[in-house]
Amino acid sequence: MTKNKLQDEFLELLGQCQGTILKLCLMHTDRQPDNVNDLYQEIVCNLWESFPRFRHKSKPNTWVYRIALNAAYMRYRSRRRMPQFIALSDYMCECIANPEGNKMLERLYWLIDLLNEDEKALILMYIDKVPLRDIAETLGTTEDAVKHRINRLKQKMKTLNENGQ
């Protein structure tokens, strides 16, 4: 494959999955624009390095999730100090919500912030309507295990919301 064709295919893939990457960046940083951009660039670099080995055996979005999660986890391990409770900034609200502002969406992201990294990854894929089979493949588990984990996470988030945590 020629270099230009490889670049074109990569840029097309990046365009298709840009929203997924941004959501992962928002969930695995403190939502400061510089930190979001740093993680985004890290993920894109990792995707570019891995792209020649992408065999198209899974959906592109599933592959991007896997690479992006690994990049976020590596960043987390190297820093070891990510905030657990963070309010959404005005800048980030504008990026992910409609212009009128959506309090339910803000509350949802606040609840997601209370989850651990694995739980965040799972619930974000579920919210994005990623098929259970693809979630199971990404997380290296079975579809039944994914269903049970999602149900437990829903209950946990419901309890957190009711308790005002």
In this predicted model, what pLDDT tens digit does every residue of 136-149 receive, in sequence order? 888 888 999 999 99
Provide the domain limits for residue 23.
3-163
pLDDT of residue 40: 94
Structure tokens at 93: 């609200």
| Cα–Cα distance for residue pair 11/28, rounded to 1 Å | 23
**How many structural domains comprise the chain?**
1
**DSSP conformation letters of 19-72:** HHHHHHHHHTS---HHHHHHHHHHHHHHHHHHGGG--SSS-HHHHHHHHHHHHH
What pLDDT score was predicted for residue 96?
Answer: 54
Determine the pLDDT at residue 99: 46
Query: What are the mean pLDDT values of the chain's consecutive 10-residue runs (165 residues total)?
Result: 85 91 86 89 93 89 91 75 51 54 74 87 86 86 91 89 76
Largest interatomic CA distance in the chain: 57
pLDDT at 14: 92
For residue 57, the domain's CATH number is 1.10.1740.10
Show the CA angle centred on residue 53, arms to residues 127 and 65, nearest 5°: 10
